[in-house]
Amino acid sequence: MFTFTDSEDLNRSYIANTDDIVKAIGENPIIKKTILKVLWTQFAELETESVANYIADKYLLKLIKNDESLFEKLSVFKNTSINKVAPDFTLEILKDKKTELINLCNYDEARQYIVVFWSSTCSHCLEELPRLHKYVKTLEEGIIKVIAIGLEDDIYGWTERVEDLSSFIHVFGEGKWDNKIGNDYGVTETPSYFILDKNKKIIGKPYDFDAIKTYYQKHPIAP
């Protein structure tokens, strides 16, 4: 799989090698499923999304119809891959002193969006989010809007923390690790970041705040 490859087009080689491996396995579904799960996991961890999704779509999803947990994991990974439209959820927007409910897909207040999953009990989040807040406030209004989903067990600590992050749009993610929005995005740690374009397509998944700054140094937003 990883040795016989074309260095100029690794992903195409990986896909071709996957097809060869499946042919060599033959019609043994147990061995095929086991090997393909290992390969999918490797490419998913390497963030080689196109190959991981190819393995899932062409082969693995057909073999794991009775494995609901793995089926969901593969589906969430695909739905949150680069160039996919971000999973939708509802925002509460304060407008003219009234709270309005609007879906993310219909929200049109910036050229790009950063969706960040965090928690008021996460020390790393409490270090990074103020830096992100300060960074975004240096930009012209309407360039980037941050939507912060707090994955929480209770609302009290979260309420205190959001006061210091007033320029963000805040969503209370009740249930913490059993929250639908977090589950739809496949979030397993905080903070987790997703950069969306104007049409809510996922264009970046930086690891931390420094990676966000690096991303925008390489991909400045056009005026």
Per-residue pLDDT tens digits for 57-98: 999 999 988 899 999 999 999 999 999 999 999 998 876 667
Q: What is the pLDDT of residues 6-42, one digit of tens each?
A: 888 999 999 999 999 999 999 899 999 999 999 999 9
pTM of the model: 0.91
Predicted confidence (pLDDT) at residue 4 exceeds the cutoff of 70: yes
* Residue located via tokens 């995005």: 185
Looking at the chain, the whole-number percentage of residues with pLDDT higher than 70 is 98
pLDDT at 96: 64
Comparing C-alpha atoms, which of 207, 204, 196, 187 is closest to residue 73?
Answer: 187
* Ordered DSSP codes for 75-143: HHHHHTSTTSBPPP-EEEEEETTEEEEEEGGG--S-SEEEEEEE-TT-HHHHHHHHHHHHHHHTSPTTS
Residue 140, token pair as written in the block: 């012209």
Comparing C-alpha atoms, which of 179, 180, 197 is closest to residue 82?
Answer: 197
pLDDT at 72: 94
Distance, CA of 78 to CA of 195 (rounded, Å): 16
Q: What is the pLDDT of residues 126-183, one digit of tens each?
A: 999 999 999 999 999 899 999 999 999 999 889 999 999 999 999 999 999 999 999 9
Q: Is the peptide bond before 191 cis (omega within 30 degrees of 0)?
A: yes
**82 to each of 26, 50, 66, 204, how far by Cα in Å?**
32, 9, 27, 7
pLDDT at 99: 81
Q: What is the pLDDT of residues 175-223, one digit of tens each?
A: 999 999 999 999 999 999 999 999 999 999 999 999 999 999 999 987 6
